[in-house]
Chains A and B, each alone.
Chain A
Amino acid sequence: MINFILVFNRQGKIRLSRWYQYMTDKQKASVSQDIVTQILARKRGMCNILELEGRREARGKAIYKRYASLFFCFGIDWNDNELSGLEVLHKYVECLDQYFGNVNELDIIYNYSAAYQVMDEMLLGGHAQETNKKIVVKHCKGFDKLEESDSIVHNLRASNIA
């Protein structure tokens, strides 16, 4: 299963992070710092798989891919299929792209809650639960509409009272 997801830029700033295993805040900080430095040190031609060891908490592998200015990194178990993880990663980026329409780093910075929502639609409990791009985006947009309609109703009510 996927143990964590990290999205960070070339300067090492973490934009999104999601942990599917329990870890204290300090551990999370040190593990993410560790991985970020290791991945940023890798060159262009190297393979996208990193083996993590030493720490008891973060055993396993990290697979990562660079899209424009962002690195997307998944931490997976030792025995997991790395290529399939890379494909899930790619699928996630495709979903983001479709939801935001030509996504870039700024979109993720400003609308991080939406990015997390897409992530939750696609991945749950460390596994890919929905790989159909259309359905993922449809559900997310459905939630947005629900919110909007809710606020419209509320505003109407409020204005009636006033």
Chain B
Amino acid sequence: MDFSRKLLSTLTGGQTPAAERGAEDAKAFSDESLSALRLSISNPNISTSAMKENMLRLIYGEMMGQDVQFGVIYALKLAQSGQTDLTSSNFHYVVVALVTLCNMTLKDVVPSMVGHVLSALSHTHESVRKRALIALKNFYMRDADLIAPYLDQIKKSLYDSEPSVMSAALGLFAVVVHQHHASQMKDLVPVLVKILQQVVDGRLPKGYSYHGTAAPWIQIRCLQIMAQLGQQDLSASRSMTPAIMGAFHKARQGVDAAFAVLFEIIRTLNTFHPAIILELCQFVDVAQNPLLIIPKFATSSNQNLKYLGISMLCQVQPSAWSDTWWSQDLLAAVVQALESRDATVQRRALDLLYRMLTADNSENIIDRLVYAFFQEQDVSADHYRYLQEGDGQEHSLPLDRISSPSSSSTSSPLSLSGTTTTTTTTTEGHVPTRKEKILGQILDAAERFGRSEEWYLDLIFDLLERGGRVVTMQTAEKVMRVFERGARSTAFNTTHLRVLAVQKTMHLLAQREYLFSCSRDTGSSQPTLAYVTLWLLGEYGDDADDWKLSTVMETLARCLLINHDPLIQTFILSALTKAALRSAPNGVPKNVTGVVRAYLLDHPVSCTLSARVQSRQPYPSSVDIQLRAHEFLMIAELAS
């Protein structure tokens, strides 16, 4: 490419004496070549190779940041020949056309092209057939239903004599099985077994073996499809296991790519029906127990293999962990990985630890998780605004609505918003970051394996306070649920938990002089702590023996006076109302009602548009607060 060579030589030549002149020269050169390009490109009698040269110059100009809009129309004209090329007799053209189809992202073009591509499936030249399959895979990913009726026809390609075509067909089916119903593809099982056996036996042409392993990529693709097919199905798993063990034996002797195959084998075996792996893990001999390979990976000095070893450990279900293959070395290797300076390996080891949680080692592991949590960098605010906006609307209104005075546990704060499961939630396809994931893990683990309520409360309060933006309303709800329903840990007594929580809150409030954070926009998570603690006071304030309900209510009133954040005030008022419901014999202290009345007088209902805009809430907060305050006053009167 003389063009770029000239350009580069002017750039490098100009650097020694005067850099600015070099840049100017380069610019002059590129300007002049651009005008030359303009002339030559509009020449109708141009040959294709010269046209290609022009296209390349266009791309180069684009990379250099010049204005090449004039060339776009010529590029488009060239690209349009795609459709005719598909039916061309010269196979090279067909190949190029198919390649463009593969890279294309337009959905509308697909239906018109499908017919041509299907006919290309039976082309004489193998590279055409191969690309046709990949184009079909591409189409399938865009629009599955379009290709579904042709799948039987495509299955014939699996029997193709050319290995690369077969491999491409495997790729297509990998996508099909992954995205859709594995049950429909069960008839693939015998084919896959046969293919795997053929590859492992070395019946493919010599060119396909890579560093001693026979066609590793074909093997891996087979294994991936098998994993999906055998997932719940015991009989299918059994029929595929012998072939896989054959591949395992071969792979054990190899290097490099063989390790990749081994990894895939372990993954496949673990995705199968659990009975298979449980049976296999009992054997002591490495020839029969594939899990014995894992220590070799994890204790290796090669960091990549270490990473894979720990990944493999993560995949094996805990019930299959037997002493036959879990050795001291393995344990030492895992501990070493935790301390590793390599962030990737460290994270994996942490994931593994999470799976190893039992009641005994929970505190230790959770400490590590907490440490990792605070180490992680927080992602930008937009990420969490996505979460808040989606749920904020639903939360504000039904929060703490009183249901009935008798039962203290029915007023659950959330009914409308997305239900939280024990794992991290995904709302509208939201992908949890690592920090969120760790937070979810900590909360989950602490609840299930916590040893003492005090420790749990300390942990939660600490997280809520220092957690940063990750601690959202959803986190607060998860915590509230634990108090409401009781933790799953056997060491926790729910009533005791609540009592301790209330005690802790009162201490905290006294320490801080009833002041929570100043504003919500700083991104600190102190508000979340506020919400949870206020809710606690409201729900369980009367359970504590140390304080009378009236003291609790006075505390709440003091909070109301000091905190000006609307949402916090909402929480305070709801808590007051709940407490008032339970204060039947003694009634609400006069000073508390006095405070609320004074508050109402100070903040008259002025729901003008400007006030709403200023407060930046999604709902008219002043009206909501007024409402709750009035409710409280009414109930206070009834109670006394």
Contacts from A to B (Cβ < 8 Å): 20, 22, 43, 45-51, 53-54, 56, 59, 81-84, 86-88, 91, 109-111, 113, 120, 124-125, 127-135, 139, 142-143, 146-148, 150-151, 154-155, 158
Contact = CB atoms under 8 A, between A and B. Distances in A.
Contacts of B267: 81
Nearest to B96: A143
Contact of B207 (A22, A51, A127, A132): A132
A81 B56 contact: no
A47 B304 contact: yes
25 contacts: A45-B303, A46-B344, A53-B433, A83-B259, A83-B308, A84-B260, A87-B216, A87-B217, A87-B260, A109-B8, A110-B4, A124-B103, A124-B134, A125-B134, A127-B137, A129-B168, A129-B171, A131-B208, A134-B207, A147-B52, A150-B47, A154-B49, A154-B50, A158-B45, A158-B47
A62 to B, nearest CB: 10
A84 B345 CA distance: 18
Contacts of A91: 210
Interface in B167-201: 167-168, 171
A121 B52 CA distance: 19
Nearest to A42: B342
Interface of B: 1, 4-5, 8, 45, 47-50, 52, 56, 92, 99, 102-103, 105, 127, 130-131, 134-135, 137-138, 164, 167-168, 171, 207-208, 210, 215-217, 220, 256-257, 259-260, 263-264, 267, 303-304, 306-308, 341-342, 344-345, 347, 379, 383, 431, 433-434
Given A81-B260, A110-B5, A129-B164, A46 B303 contact: yes
B168 A81 contact: no
A81 B220 contact: yes
B433 A110 contact: no
Nearest to B49: A151
Contact of B105 (A22, A134, A150, A154): A22
Contacts of A81: 220, 260, 263-264, 267
A134 to B, nearest CB: 6
Contacts of B431: 53, 56, 59
A67 B135 CA distance: 32
A132 B383 contact: no
Contacts of B49: 147-148, 150-151, 154
Given A87-B256, A132-B208, A158-B45, A47 B217 contact: no
B344 A125 contact: no
Contacts of A124: 99, 102-103, 131, 134
Interchain residue pairs A-B with the least CB separation, the first 4: A154-B47, A47-B303, A83-B260, A151-B49
A148 to B, nearest CB: 7
B138 A88 contact: no
Contacts of B306: 47
Nearest to B208: A132
B347 A51 contact: yes
Nearest to B47: A154
Nearest to A139: B127
Contacts of B92: 142-143, 146
Contacts of B52: 147
